[in-house]
A and B are shown apart, each in its own frame.
Chain A
Amino acid sequence: MTERVLLEAKGLEIRFGGVVAAQDINIQIHEGHNLAIIGPNGAGKTTFLNICTGYLKPHKGKVFFDGKDVTRLQPRHLVRRGVARAFQIPQLFTEHSVLENLLIAGAAQSRRWSPFRPLHQIPERKAMLHLLDMVKCSHIADRPVSELPEGQRKLVDIAIALALKPKLLFMDEPTSGVASSEKFEVLDIIAEALTEAKVTSVFVEHDMGIVDRFADEVAVWNRGEVLFRGPPDDVLNHPDVIRDVIGEEV
């Protein structure tokens, strides 16, 4: 194992009002993989994402990104270092159109804009249109995001994250809320876009079909403890995993 470690968590612990939500989390994330995190509800998976992206501060432990301690940084600082995030509930700018959502992200990423030049005329416009194309949303570019179905909202949410040109992308249940008939289609689009953008990704997922199809590495997680980690075929077929995690989920 000589792959570069992109992000490392050491001994993380977080409590909510005295209740320990996650304890002694230790995990390394390697460059170039699609790592799926699975585990029962309340296992602290979203909390882990919140800590790694700076939204929550752990009570103990540290997070390293690219070898540097980033534990105390805010989300925006981590974003500028290359850690992006897509959300379980898509976090969109509901008064803007799909394209405008991306243009804002593009402008935020480039940081080059004049206060008097319209958003629609920024130099990143072309790149953003391309990104929309990648997530198959070009046809809805001018629709207000508030009118979109959940599947498309998920795609836009991920496209926004990709617009930030991240090195590492966290995704919280990328297909939750998407109709099961569309799940694979949505996922394929995401996978293709991630490959094109060459992004390392970590995603939390409950649907083992999705995990199997999409991840190249799986970590099974419970109360902050990584129980198993390895290629999907090995982990998903492990009897303990089937009993403790999948049995509960499927």
Chain B
Amino acid sequence: MQFNLRTVVPSLIVLAVAVLPLLAPTTQVLLTLALSKGLAVLGVIVLLQAGQVSFGHALFFGVSAYAAAFVGKGFGGGELFSMLAIGVVASLAISVVVGLFVVRYRHIFFGMLNLAVSMIFFSLLEKFYHVTGGSDGLSVARPLFLGIEMEREGFEMVLFYLVLVLALGAAWLTHRFLNSPIGNMMRTIKTNEVRLEYLGVSARNTLLVGYIVSAGLCGLGGALAAVAQGVVTPEYAWWIRSGEFVFIAILGGSGSVGGAFVGSLLYEAVRTYASAFAGDVWQMILGIVLLFVILFAPSGITGLFARLTGRKASPASEEAGQ
């Protein structure tokens, strides 16, 4: 293997994340949540390749989380993998229905329609109190792991490494997907949709594929977050959370799959420590960080890193506003 910063640094980060919980146990749940969110951010990044930004992707995060919670409730604790699977399937199913509608729109309208649909779901979660637990949400009992009942400590450890493996796997597959012909076609929706149609390809269907993939990633993240948190609330589907996903995508760098996870790790760290040590102004701190990133490093942390190491991050690291 060629020894260069571009391969060494990401490997070191993965290694550091993998061992950190052993050294500092309190970071474990935080990392689990950060990686779960990172999966959702990865979904947002998929859509950003097509130049479309959804301000409602928390919808799929929430759909999956609630589906997992219902599975857990309905089957007395449930099995972790069935919860994850049903969560993802639920978000995929919803994404087909919503997707067929929203892929007809672009830019602001695309963003706003996603926002509207997610707000409808959010409102329904709050309204149907007797089913969804209203704003208090539902508690998610600790599920079995491959049939084994575990104590909190052991389970959290298992869950953390499972999330880590899933995150790495999802990142790799998404990377492959974005580099494949259809991934590249999705990116042409951003640059020249008319020409794509003149290649005999339906831009809407292409975007729909990307939309479903992104919803699946959000769904996986949502179900994992639900299990890690032990509770699901309508907050999972709120527009501020959708905004947060987009925020993290830009922070990490929308050009690469790694950006999703680097961004979410950094975001959770800043958020947690800011709210612990500067409780009054944690939102302000996050806002200022975001402003700095956009104004001075619009391609995010991974873009900055790629620039420092003199190579382009893959697969789509074109500097914004070129």
Contact = CB atoms under 8 A, between A and B. Distances in A.
Contact between A and B in the complex (any CB pair below 8 Å): yes
Interface residues of B, number: 28
A191 interface: no
A160 B199 contact: yes
A93 B318 contact: no
B198 A118 contact: no
A92 B200 contact: no
A95 B200 contact: no
Given A117-B181, A122-B181, 12 more contacts: A79-B198, A91-B194, A91-B195, A93-B195, A95-B190, A107-B181, A108-B196, A108-B200, A109-B200, A113-B182, A115-B176, A115-B182
Contact of A96 (B187, B197, B199): B187
Contacts of A22: none
Interface string A97-136: 0001001110111000111111110100000000000000
B132 to A, nearest CB: 35
A99 to B, nearest CB: 12
Nearest to B49: A95
Interface of A: 53, 55, 74-77, 79-80, 84-85, 87, 91-96, 100, 103-105, 107-109, 113-120, 122, 146, 160-161, 164
A114 B180 contact: yes
A103 B185 CA distance: 10
A120 B176 CA distance: 12
Contacts, number: 97
B183 A115 contact: yes
Contact of A76 (B181, B183, B184, B198): B198
Contact of A116 (B176, B187, B316): B176
B258 to A, nearest CB: 17
Contacts of A119: 179-181, 183-184
A52 B183 CA distance: 30
A161 B200 CA distance: 11
B177 interface: yes
A67 B190 CA distance: 36
B195 A160 contact: yes
Interface of B: 173, 176-177, 179-185, 187-188, 190-192, 194-202, 209, 316, 318, 322
Q: Which A-B residue pairs are the 5 nearest by beta carbons?
A: A79-B200, A107-B181, A108-B199, A91-B195, A113-B181
A119 B315 CA distance: 11
A118 B188 contact: no
Contacts of B184: 96, 100, 103-104, 107, 119
A166 to B, nearest CB: 10
A105 B198 CA distance: 9
A75 B197 contact: yes
Nearest to B177: A115
A171 B190 CA distance: 24
B20 to A, nearest CB: 31
A96 B188 CA distance: 9
Contacts of A75: 194, 197-198
Q: In this complex, which of B179, B188, B190 has the most chain A Cβ atoms within 10 angstroms of its Cβ? A: B188
Nearest to A55: B194
A69 to B, nearest CB: 19
B191 A118 contact: no
B215 to A, nearest CB: 15
A118 B180 contact: yes
Most chain-B Cβ atoms within 10 A of its Cβ — which of A53, A91, A103? Answer: A91
A107 B184 CA distance: 10
Q: Which of B190, B192, B200, B202 has the most CB of A within 10 A?
A: B200
A96 B185 CA distance: 10
B42 to A, nearest CB: 16
Contacts of A93: 187-188, 191-192, 195
B188 A104 contact: yes
Contacts of B209: 115
B82 to A, nearest CB: 26
Given A79-B200, A93-B192, A95-B316, A104 B180 contact: no
A77 B197 CA distance: 9
A118 B176 contact: yes
A74 B197 contact: yes
Contacts of B177: 115-116
| Of listed B192, B194, B195, B197, residue having the most chain A CB within 10 A | B195
B201 A108 contact: yes
Contact of B192 (A91, A114, A117, A161): A91
Instruction: Among A80, A87, A94, A108, find the residue whose CB has the most chain B CB atoms closer than 10 A.
Output: A108
A135 B147 CA distance: 63
Contact of A80 (B182, B183, B187, B200): B200
B199 A79 contact: yes
